Amino acid sequence: MAAPIEPYERASLELERPIQSSSHRILLSPVREVNDEIRSESIIRPAVEGVGQLLQVNRDASRSAARKYYLDQLDERNAVILFRCTGRDCGRSNVWANQIFNEARLYGRDINQDYLAAAYKDTDGVLHLVLVYTVTRGNQREYVWVEQLTTGPDAVVPGFSTGSARIRGPVIVSWSGGVTFQFDYDAAARRQLQEWSAEPGSQVLLNSYTVLGDDQSLADAMDRARQAADSLATLLGKSGVSREQIVPVIIGPAVRFEDPSRQGNRIEVKVVSQP
């Protein structure tokens, strides 16, 4: 099994908490609190074991440097970033601190926080999940919370493929409409695809799925999937993804998944890097 990522060296370890759970809550989208309930569009609850660490960043360092350290370590392990957010896009810091991580020292200003969730497989085939949350408190002290977890081989992790490390994604983009299309394509997903597709020679696969209506022909369903892929390709072009990089894969209703996050009219975007 791969050695865990060492704590950021320019920080002090304030707390280390063992984590062992048959249903550990991991958020892959911004958090909201509605009537004292945690709401997030994408939450997984795998069985995990591992450790959580609370770090206080030294005054001569910064949480941005700490975040970069963990991103570099994840990159060395060919990890896939499942979700990333910054500032108010993450939701309320109070909820992350007291409801998600159960650590009051992580409560800071909503604008001064960030979060990422990542996954990678080590050389033994063990799936690792890594969560990194950083925040600046009102007294200007900066903290980092890191969870390093392992989970079973049957765990379903949206956005992580067990195949080639050259294939990143999918980023799942739900859509609605017909003549014109509306896409559920937030800023975090846009930044993620921009980063992946910026690598020289990378190709962007648009795997387009549709639901077959009761009164709809297969040809019509396939045509809607094709039009949705063309519309998303145009949208991606406006955010810097070259049309020459894009490869539409029209699947329509031909393939079904049990995973609840992979249902309905959607385009699953994957990025394939050069060998």
Here the CATH number for the domain that contains residue 239 is 3.30.1330.60
Give me the residues paired with residue 54 across strands.
15, 145
Least confident stretch, 1-5, 72-76, 146-150: 1-5
Is residue 17 located within the same domain as residue 130? yes
If DSSP states are collapsed to H, E and C, what string results for the chain?
Answer: CCCCCCCCCCEEEEEEEEEEECCCCEECCCCEEECCEEECCCEECCCEEEEEEEEEECCCCCHHHHHHHHHHHHHHCCCEEEEEEEHHHHCCHHHHHHHHCCCHHHCCCHHHEEEEEEEEECCCCCEEEEEEEEEECCCCCEEEEEEEEEECCCCCCCCCCCCCCCEEEEEEEEEEECCCEEECCCHHHHHHHHHHHCCCCCEEEEEEECCCCCCCCHHHHHHHHHHHHHHHHHHHHHCCCCHHHEEEEEEECCCCCCCCCCCCCEEEEEEECCC
Is residue 221 located within the same domain as residue 145? no
Cα separation of 159 and 154, whole Å? 15
pLDDT score for 164: 57
Per residue in 67-121, pLDDT tens?
999 999 988 888 888 888 999 989 899 999 999 999 999 999 999 999 999 998 8
Report yes or no on 130 lying in a domain. Answer: yes
Is residue 147 located within the same domain as residue 171? no
Is residue 15 located within the same domain as residue 147? yes
- Tell me the mean pLDDT in the region 30-49: 81
Cα separation of 118 and 147, whole Å? 10
pLDDT score for 240: 87
Is residue 52 located within the same domain as residue 126? yes
Report yes or no on 133 lying in a domain. Answer: yes
Is residue 29 located within the same domain as residue 88? yes
> Tokens standing for 255?
């393939």
pLDDT tier at 227, thresholds 50, 70, 90: very high
For the entire predicted model, the pTM comes to 0.64
Is 70 exceeded by the pLDDT of residue 168? yes
Is residue 118 located within the same domain as residue 40? yes
Is residue 261 located within the same domain as residue 232? yes
Is residue 26 located within the same domain as residue 117? yes
Q: How many domains is the chain partitioned into structurally?
A: 2
Is 60 exceeded by the pLDDT of residue 162? no
Least confident stretch, 16-30, 52-66, 253-267: 253-267
Per residue in 184-221, pLDDT tens?
887 777 887 888 888 889 999 999 999 998 889 999 99
Structural domain that includes position 82 = 11-151
Please answer whether residues 90 and 109 qualify as being in contact, where contact means their C-beta atoms are separated by less than 8 angstroms.
Answer: no
Which residue reads 């080590």 in tokens?
A: 122
